[in-house]
Structure 1
Amino acid sequence: MLGPFSINIYMPSFADMRTSLGVNDVQLQITLSLYFVSFAFMSLWHGMLADSFGRRPVVLVGIAVFTVSTFGIALSDDIHNIYLLRVLQGFSAGAGIVIGRAVIRDVYEGAMAQRVYATVVMLFAIAPAIGPVIGGFLQVHFGWRSPFIFLGGMGAVLSLLTFVLLPETLSHESRQPFSLANVLKGYQQVFSHFRFMSWAISFALMFGGFFIYVLSAPIFLTRHLHLGATQFIWLFGPATAGMMLGSFLSGRLASAWSVRRLLRTGFAVMLFAVVLNVSVCVVNPVSFYWYLPYLFFFTLGMALVQPVIMVLGLDCVPHRRGLGSSVQLFVQTSFNALLSAVIAPLFWNSPLQLALGAATLLALSLMGIYFLRWMTVSGRTPKAEQV
């Protein structure tokens, strides 16, 4: 939950930060872009380090660095210092996400792995909803520094809980040697794996259909829908409800439904959501409650397929699960950085443009999955991957 909290808990404070720090919207948007770029870069290393030294120590170091850098932001008065500390936050916040995925595959197989990962996603989904709500409350009562103090305190508590409760799930016999040659070999194997990369890119595009709204929340909610700092729940609330219900259903249906059926159902729900969303933007673009069904149904469909796509991807690289999890997150976060820096600002000028941007991202994701299926059925994937 540290990852999404770091993105959205301070969004309700943007106006206060502009005044207090003497900055503009673009400079504040840079704090998001720097976070995503550093998060993406370091996500490549979390899994590799965890494959070599074990899961537990990498998580502990990551949370400790995150905690110190977050308290540093709360004490800063200069935007350039905040830029540096946001980079440190990005370097460290992904440790739990990357290694958590690898831990699940260390312990569970097949449908059980999907079920457990769906439970994790259901809990993870709480963060986008409560982050802005907590941030808005803290902003109104204590100012822009308070969300970072809260987040730093959360990191300190998690450091203690992780130290006491997290076991090591990777045996010494399963660890990869830490050497330049082995690292380069691992990256080459994972990045050149057609099926693995297809799943990773398709997921990043699909997630972008929702995340473009998260990144545009300060503009979309306050400027277009005329909502206040404490009303971000109208975006993140229905999205969280959809993610939690979709994750619950995905876990329950993992044994009863085939992978193909889960994927088809999830994407059908998301297609319905984007058509509804575009229609709303044409008919009644400024009434916020018309957007609630889109946010609910899109995230419901997304959560239905998310555990399936993650497990299918990691199953492509069974001996490099830590590194595979890193690359999955690297692809997603790199695309999030592109969304934050380029795509979202291009589309947030009107609700209709945002809706069309989300629809385009989902269409590209669906095209990628169908292309992967065609390549597999036609035998055009590399022979080493045809299993």
Structure 2
Amino acid sequence: MLKTHSSILVFVLAALAALAPFAIDTYLPAFHAIAGELGTTELAIQQSLTFYLLPYAVMTLCHGAISDAIGRITTIKWGLGVFVLASIGCVLAPNIQTLWLFRALQGMSGGAGNTVARAMVRDLFEGAQAQRVMATVQMLFGIAPAVAPILGGILLGIHWQAIFMFLALYAAVTLWAAIRYLPETMPVGKRVKFSVGQVASTYSRMLANRRFLVLIASLGLNFSAFFIYVLASPVFLVKHLHLNSQQFGYLFIPTVTGMMLGSWIARRTAGKLSAEDILRWAFIWMLLIASCNVVIQYVNLGSDVWWLAILPIALFNIGMAMAMPVLSIAALDCYVKVRGTAASAQAFMQMLCSTLSSALIVPLVWHSMLMLSLAMLLMTVLSACLMWFSAHQDSRASDS
């Protein structure tokens, strides 16, 4: 295990993890332009998020197991290589069906970087240091959702195709950096033979592990409580708050600042506060802010003052980012020998929640700012209830 970590290694891990938010957020300001050029509706373009997220979620079940079998770096090579080609396919798409196809291919390959990066953090670091590194990676990764839509708005000034060329270039440079700077953390002697039966057996054991399921479900719900605003941003910002395509940063800069602040708090408190204390305060904060958000929208203040609609989302992200590295490390520690597979299950749950939000929840609630705030609160309450129930069951088991 490494006693210290270089800044380059952490930056490369963060760049791998950030590929997913770049693939999601960079083209959000271009929905109207893409719809106009491809002769379709903005709803059809919004569904291209679902075509990305669903294959992403499904393939994350395999990326970790594949990396346990053939090595972390080889998995990154294949995943990011295919992502580059798929991004070029999006550039050349002549119609919405072709765009859906290559977005699906992006989703199938793009999760390799995020899944393997999570596993490598836990391969390389132990204890409080692992939590600090995970929080640092998350803090750097958090910059991507703020930069992506702003950069997308700038690239839209050239053409919407320039956005997908940027994604191809970003993936290619990150692939080169991973090969150049990251060590292989899954040596041949520790690799687990890949087979569908073995992977199914491993996931079957994970499904029977209540603690693991609660941890990854809570992680996915917390993230989705924020992410619904990202998915709904073309309507939330333009139609509800009357901002334009170049003002997407009004949402993303404050919310990512909140995420970075929460990650900084998690990093600073690692080893000083117990994981249970960090989670307790994080959940209290998220529930408080989500409730305030509902009140603000109920009295209809957010629609009149745009920053008042965005402030609760940014404040919510402080608690979400505080909890995220603690939940992530705890989940990975449930399966030490197959951390890649555990990271896959974790990423799958997060993206499954995001996919369901994109396909089902967001189209139902994005017409109303109050409904968006209620969706955030309900997801947070469900996450908190899962954590409380799990802790209560563990306490009863230890007492007996």
Q: Give the partner amino acid of 1:317.
A: Y
| Per-residue deviation, 1:273 | 1.4
Tell me how far apart the structure 2 counterparts of residues 240 and 285 of structure 1 sit (CA, whole Å): 19
| Per-residue deviation, 1:184 | 2.4
Could you tell me which of 19, 28, 53 is aligned with 2:36?
A: 19
Which runs of no fewer than 5 residues in structure 1 stay unpaired? 381-385
| 4+ residue runs over 6 A deviation | none
The 1:370–1:134 alpha-carbon spacing in structure 2 relative to 1, beyond 3 Å, is: same
Please give the TM-score of this superposition, normalised by the length of structure 2: 0.93
Tell me how far apart the structure 2 counterparts of residues 230 and 180 of structure 1 sit (CA, whole Å): 46
SS at structure 2 position matched to 1:170: coil
Tell me how far apart the structure 2 counterparts of residues 208 and 159 of structure 1 sit (CA, whole Å): 28
Tell me how far apart the structure 2 counterparts of residues 22 and 111 of structure 1 sit (CA, whole Å): 52
Tell me how far apart the structure 2 counterparts of residues 182 and 371 of structure 1 sit (CA, whole Å): 31
- Partner residue in 1 for 2:116: 99
Counterpart check, 1:262 vs 2:278? yes
Q: More deviation in 147-156 or 227-236?
A: 147-156
- Partner residue in 2 for 1:28: 45
| Per-residue deviation, 1:174 | 1.7
Tell me how far apart the structure 2 counterparts of residues 136 and 359 of structure 1 sit (CA, whole Å): 30
State whether residues 242 and 297 of structure 1, in contact with CA within 8 Å, keep that contact through their aligned partners in structure 2: yes
| Per-residue deviation, 1:191 | 2.3
Could you tell me which of 360, 377, 389 is aligned with 1:371?
A: 389
Partner deviation per Cα, 1:57-111 (whole Å, 9 max, x = no partner): 0011111111111011011111111111011100111111101111111111111
Please give the TM-score of this superposition, normalised by the length of structure 1: 0.96
| Per-residue deviation, 1:329 | 0.7
Counterpart check, 1:112 vs 2:129? yes
- Partner residue in 2 for 1:176: 192
Which runs of no fewer than 5 residues in structure 2 stay unpaired? 1-17
| Per-residue deviation, 1:295 | 1.9
- Aligned counterparts, 1:50-69, within 5 A: 50-69=67-86
- Partner residue in 2 for 1:199: 215
Counterpart check, 1:6 vs 2:23? yes
State whether residues 54 and 175 of structure 1, in contact with CA within 8 Å, keep that contact through their aligned partners in structure 2: yes
Q: Give the partner amino acid of 1:201.
A: A
| Per-residue deviation, 1:323 | 0.3
| Per-residue deviation, 1:180 | 3.6
Partner deviation per Cα, 1:37-59 (whole Å, 9 max, x = no partner): 00001100100001111111001
Tell me how far apart the structure 2 counterparts of residues 184 and 273 of structure 1 sit (CA, whole Å): 39
Tell me how far apart the structure 1 counterparts of residues 234 and 82 of structure 2 sit (CA, whole Å): 28
| Per-residue deviation, 1:189 | 1.7
Tell me how far apart the structure 2 counterparts of residues 13 and 184 of structure 1 sit (CA, whole Å): 40
Q: More deviation in 349-358 or 175-184?
A: 175-184
Counterpart check, 1:145 vs 2:161? yes
Q: Give the partner amino acid of 2:189.
A: E
**Pairs aligned (count):** 381
Tell me how far apart the structure 2 counterparts of residues 258 and 364 of structure 1 sit (CA, whole Å): 23
Tell me how far apart the structure 2 counterparts of residues 356 and 369 of structure 1 sit (CA, whole Å): 20
Tell me how far apart the structure 2 counterparts of residues 180 and 86 of structure 1 sit (CA, whole Å): 26
Tell me how far apart the structure 1 counterparts of residues 176 and 189 of structure 2 sit (CA, whole Å): 28
Could you tell me which of 222, 235, 238 is aligned with 1:219?
A: 235
- Partner residue in 1 for 2:258: 242
Tell me how far apart the structure 2 counterparts of residues 134 and 298 of structure 1 sit (CA, whole Å): 24
| Per-residue deviation, 1:280 | 1.9
| Root mean square deviation of aligned Cα | 1.5
State whether residues 29 and 341 of structure 1, in contact with CA within 8 Å, keep that contact through their aligned partners in structure 2: no
Tell me how far apart the structure 1 counterparts of residues 179 and 122 of structure 2 sit (CA, whole Å): 21
Tell me how far apart the structure 2 counterparts of residues 179 and 158 of structure 1 sit (CA, whole Å): 29
State whether residues 285 and 352 of structure 1, in contact with CA within 8 Å, keep that contact through their aligned partners in structure 2: no
- Partner residue in 2 for 1:155: 171
Q: Give the partner amino acid of 1:255.
A: G
